[in-house]
Amino acid sequence: MKEKDNKFIYWIKAARLRTLPLALSCILLSSSLVLITKKNISFKVLLLTLTTTLLLQILSNFANDYGDAIKDADINKKGEQRMVQSGKISKNRMKTAILILSIITFLIGLLLIFVVFHNNYIKIFVFLILGILSITAAIKYTVGNNAYGYRALGDISVFIFFGVIGVMGSYYLFTESFHWLTIPGALFTGLLSCGVLNLNNLRDNENDQLNKKNTLVGKLGIEKAKKYHILLLIISILSFIIIVINSDNIYYNASLIPIFFILRHLYLFTKDKPIEWMDSQLKTLALSCFSCCFISFIIGNII
């Protein structure tokens, strides 16, 4: 079936599959930290957490596609084509999909909370609020008059949800406790995710300026944003090394292998590279982060 006749492929593209590994990374890293510190994990909780995280990321991608189209921010946008702006998916259909996906995500998240906390109503209430805030944040990034993605607050949001909540929050779901290793864990996935966003904003800066979309790159300027990018990745790498050093399993060193691709990215980033190169590096950084977390998770379960 040709792509023009296959509308399902448009929804796959709107889901932006290349962003999903990055969303899963914080959960995989968190669960590997559980295996380092507690030595066991509930796979029922892990499955529900991974599912909720995936749904949140897809919801965010749908909302971004819709919100940017409403504001005409995707006109002349470089990189992958957006489905609503291109007319492949209508605004009404995407709006309906966002509503349905929000409900499904809420229900799966609610099930997760009750599976973990049973009758502890205080903890249920706290995580219920966090869940509602997560769904709201996924939508409000670009949707609405006060979309925070247009007010240079995207980096802070990404660090909170891909780092603090993603690693530290899910670790608490797994163990109902806190461990100091979740701090470098949150720094690794959180700052690397900010690096991906910053690279995306560097690529789109010219178009964002034309459409009055304020990002941190727009506020800092290109040169400072590049220095910021380098700092983000260096701190994230050092944070992951701290985790590996504090593991009593020598095989965890293997999870450092994908760091090579981040270091290579940093080296090439200091050169004068075209915008097209930045677009290709979004996948490189996302998959490098995912690979580090996935390898550490596999090693923790098998060895």
pLDDT (tens digit, 9 = 90+) per residue, 101-127?
Answer: 999 999 999 999 999 999 899 999 999
User: Could you tell me the pTM of the whole model?
Assistant: 0.92
Q: In whole angstroms, how far apart are CA 194 and each of 2, 22, 251, 282, 296?
A: 36, 11, 28, 11, 21
H-only helix segments in 144-258: 154-159, 170-175, 182-210, 216-220, 222-245
> The dihedral of CA 46, 36, 185, 237: what is its sign?
negative
Highest mean pLDDT among 14-23, 116-125, 268-277: 116-125
Place of tokens 């593991």: 247
Q: How many domains does the chain have?
A: 1
Which range of residues forms the domain containing residue 218?
3-302
| Residue 280 pLDDT exceeds 90 | no
